[in-house]
């Protein structure tokens, strides 16, 4: 097995890893990104079909308070548009009651979506990097501290790197990568018991020829405590020329087949909109718990947001050569795109200090 030298090896080609690599272009450091999946993006995933609205199945929304992701989007000249919620919503409290059309409260806050899908930011970041920076379909197996470097063993080849930055969900890093010497016990415990955002989520979406939910007596916003679909929103494109509905399905349907989930979702939509809901163009879904290189498995129940932004993630390990980064490691909008970008900036500043 061959060994290559690099200055900074980043584990994971999601938003944190790609943003960090983008920032490191300001330095003379050679950067290598190792990604176990055959695709890049982590928990950002957009499905594209010709002449249909793009369907985001992972991270989707940005709010005005999330300044770091907004600044990055602006730097990359990526366009945003406002999420349409409408003035009403379909509310279905439980099976014993009929769904009702309720008026949404006046709210000055807005949410933004990325034009042409959230994956646009992933593609744009990747296109700014030198060729061969990202190694996909390559999984890191172990880290071994040497005198001046960390030896990184993967399923394809080894790397000697001055610094290693893990951007994996902490529990996934703990499950899949061994270190020599071992990391401190308190950190191992925190890693193993850190909640992973999207872990239990099932995201689904339907594309349509017409936005029938924009009629006066209905809505494209759905909040339901009954049925497979829990939250659903208008997911049409920025120019309102391609139409879709998309949102969250109950995680309890994990063990159903894709076709079963589709049929259950259509039955619920049909009860709200009539037979026009059945005339969809395409159905897309992502069961995040079934993405082994993206979300971990847990032996015990982990509370939502448990250990997110834990102080131990701020420290460096393996003789100050290993950094723990990612959306779960930051306190600023933990788990969101804002946390991922903020984490990349913080590690970038730490690396700059180490270089000096």
pLDDT of amino acid 107: 76
Helices (H) and strands (E) counted in the chain, each on its own, are 7, 20
Average pLDDT over residues 315-331: 97
pLDDT level of residue 108 (50, 70, 90 thresholds) = confident
Locus of tokens 């470097």:
149
Q: What is the Cα–Cα distance from 311 to 16, expressed in whole angstroms?
A: 18
Q: What is the Cα–Cα distance from 138 to 140, expressed in whole angstroms?
A: 7
Cα–Cα distance list, 58 to 6, 42, 92, 120, 127 (Å): 31, 9, 24, 13, 21
pLDDT level of residue 303 (50, 70, 90 thresholds) = very high
pLDDT of amino acid 355: 81
Q: What is the pLDDT of residues 110-159, one digit of tens each?
A: 999 999 999 999 999 999 999 999 999 999 999 999 999 999 999 999 99
For the entire predicted model, the pTM comes to: 0.97
Q: Say if residue 356's pLDDT is above 80.
A: no
For residues 35 and 138, the answer to whether their CB atoms sit within 8 Å is yes
Handedness of CA 118, 123, 128, 133 (dihedral sign): positive
Residue 27 is encoded by which pair of tokens? 């330095």
pLDDT of amino acid 349: 97
Q: What is the pLDDT of residues 282-302, one digit of tens each?
A: 999 999 999 999 999 898 899
Residue 38 is encoded by which pair of tokens? 């055959």
pLDDT of amino acid 137: 98
pLDDT of amino acid 1: 79
Q: Say if residue 60's pLDDT is above 90.
A: yes
Q: What is the Cα–Cα distance from 152 to 3, expressed in whole angstroms?
A: 9
Average pLDDT taken over every residue of the chain? 96
pLDDT level of residue 51 (50, 70, 90 thresholds) = very high
Q: What is the pLDDT of residues 234-259, one digit of tens each?
A: 999 999 999 999 999 999 999 999 99
Q: What is the pLDDT of residues 197-228, one digit of tens each?
A: 999 999 999 999 999 999 989 999 999 998 99
Average pLDDT over residues 97-109: 87
pLDDT level of residue 11 (50, 70, 90 thresholds) = very high
Of 7 and 226, the one with more pLDDT: 7
Beta-carbon-side half-sphere exposure of residue 179 (alpha carbons within 13 Å): 20
| Residue 85: burial class (beta carbons within 10 Å; 0-12, 13-18, 19+) | middle
Q: Which residues touch 73 (CB under 8 Å, ≥6 apart)?
A: 62, 80, 114, 121
**DSSP one-letter code for 62:** B
pLDDT of amino acid 244: 98
Q: What is the pLDDT of residues 172-191, one digit of tens each?
A: 999 999 999 999 999 999 99
Instruction: Mean pLDDT check: name the lowest of 14-28, 49-63, 89-103, 173-187.
Output: 89-103
Average pLDDT over residues 3-9: 97
pLDDT of amino acid 6: 98
Q: What is the Cα–Cα distance from 230 to 219, expressed in whole angstroms?
A: 15
CA angle 77, 83, 84 (to 5 degrees): 145
pLDDT of amino acid 216: 84
pLDDT of amino acid 226: 84
Q: Which residues touch 315 (CB under 8 Å, ≥6 apart)?
A: 187
pLDDT of amino acid 299: 86
**What percent of the chain is modeled with pLDDT above 70?**
100
Q: What is the CA radius of gyration of the chain?
A: 22
Q: Say if residue 35's pLDDT is above 80.
A: yes
pLDDT of amino acid 97: 86
Alpha-carbon dihedral angle through residues 76, 133, 199, 264, given to the nearest 10 degrees: 70
Locus of tokens 């690099």:
6
pLDDT level of residue 48 (50, 70, 90 thresholds) = very high
Residue 176 is encoded by which pair of tokens? 């899949």
């Amino acid at each position: 097995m061959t060994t290559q030298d690099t200055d900074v090896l980043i584990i994971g080609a999601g938003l944190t890893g790609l943003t960090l690599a983008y920032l490191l272009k300001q330095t003379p450091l050679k950067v290598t990104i190792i990604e176990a999946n055959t695709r890049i993006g982590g928990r950002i995933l957009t499905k594209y079909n010709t002449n249909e609205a793009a369907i985001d199945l992972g991270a989707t929304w940005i709010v005005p308070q999330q300044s770091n992701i907004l600044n990055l989007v602006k730097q990359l000249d990526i366009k945003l548009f406002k999420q349409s919620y409408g003035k009403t919503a379909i509310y279905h409290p439980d099976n014993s009651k009929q769904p009702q059309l309720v008026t949404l409260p006046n709210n000055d806050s807005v949410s933004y979506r990325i034009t042409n899908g959230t994956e646009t930011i992933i593609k744009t970041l990747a296109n700014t990097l030198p060729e061969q920076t990202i190694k996909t379909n390559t999984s890191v197996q172990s880290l071994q501290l040497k005198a001046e470097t960390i030896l990184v063993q993967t399923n394809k080849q080894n790397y000697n790197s001055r610094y290693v930055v893990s951007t994996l969900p902490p529990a996934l890093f703990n499950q899949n990568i061994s270190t020599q010497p071992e990391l401190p016990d308190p950190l191992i415990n925190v890693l193993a018991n850190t909640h992973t955002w999207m872990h239990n989520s099932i995201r689904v979406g339907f594309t349509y020829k017409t936005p029938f939910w924009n009629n006066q007596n209905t809505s494209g916003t759905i909040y339901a405590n009954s049925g497979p679909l829990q939250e659903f929103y208008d997911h049409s494109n920025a120019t309102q020329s391609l139409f879709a509905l998309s949102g969250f399905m109950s995680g309890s349907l994990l063990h159903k087949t894709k076709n079963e989930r589709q049929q259950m979702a259509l039955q619920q939509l049909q009860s709200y909109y009539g037979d026009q809901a059945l005339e969809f163009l395409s159905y897309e879904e992502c069961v995040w718990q079934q993405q082994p290189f993206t979300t971990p498995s847990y032996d015990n129940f982990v509370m939502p947001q448990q250990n997110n932004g834990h102080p131990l993630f701020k420290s460096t390990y393996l003789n100050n050569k290993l950094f723990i980064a990612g959306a779960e490691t930051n306190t600023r909008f933990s788990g969101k795109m804002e946390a991922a970008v903020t984490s990349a900036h913080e590690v970038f500043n730490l690396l700059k200090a180490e270089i000096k």
